[in-house]
Structure 1
Amino acid sequence: MAYDGTIEVNDFGRGISKEEIDRITEPFYRIDRSRNKKNGGVGLGLALVKRIADAHNIRLVIESELGIGTTVLLSFPDVDN
């Protein structure tokens, strides 16, 4: 499949381990289990992004390195082909 455009989001925080990257698009999964509703989300954001991306043939790639940060890429299909 050819892709027409890409959105890239970079975060220069603490990074995410490989094991957790494999799980962060699961509904209700949160890396920091100590967070509560007052201090953070409920773990649905990336799960929704993945479902929407899958429904529209958008490629979602999440790359991260501990101590360096995280990059999320959304590549949109070329609708003319």
Structure 2
Amino acid sequence: MEKLNVLLEEIDGLCIIRVKDTGIGISQEEQDKIFERFYMVDKSRSKKVGGSGLGLSIVKHIVKYHNGKISLTSKINEGTEVEIKLPI
């Protein structure tokens, strides 16, 4: 069973949002592509649960518009963490 944790905190004038799961993880090679439009790591799973591959691309553009930064760390079979930093 996958778990999802969401953390929201303020540090040094930044709003930090961390979303972490215990899912399948994303390979190092695919991590650079994850914010591209229509990119899906597991295409067979995406067909089962739906999705277009636009979500993280949209998030990236919203964060950029608000002068923030977004980063991703992931390990296969351990999960993925997305961190967003937005100026307050």
TM-score bin, normalised by smaller chain: 0.7 to 0.9
Query: 1:5 and 2:15 equivalent?
Result: yes
Length-normalised TM-score, structure 1: 0.84
Query: Higher relative CO (CA 8 A, sep ≥ 6), structure 1 or 2?
Result: 1
Length-normalised TM-score, structure 2: 0.78
Query: 1:62 and 2:55 equivalent?
Result: no
How far off its partner does 1:39 sit? 2.4
Structure 1 or 2: larger helix share?
Answer: 2
After superposing on structure 2, the runs of 4+ consecutive aligned residues of structure 1 that deviate more than 3 Å are none
Distance 2:34 2:15 in 1: 24
Structure 1 or 2: larger strand share?
Answer: 2
Matching residue of 2:5: none
CA RMSD of the aligned region, Å? Answer: 1.5
| C-alpha contact 1:58 1:77 (8 A) present in aligned 2 | yes
Equivalent residue for 2:57, pick from 47, 61, 69: 47
- 1:28 maps to a residue whose letter is F
The percentage of counterpart residues that share the same residue type is: 43
How many positions carry a matched residue from both structures?
76
- SS of corresponding position for 1:67: coil
- SS of corresponding position for 1:62: strand
How far off its partner does 1:56 sit? 1.1
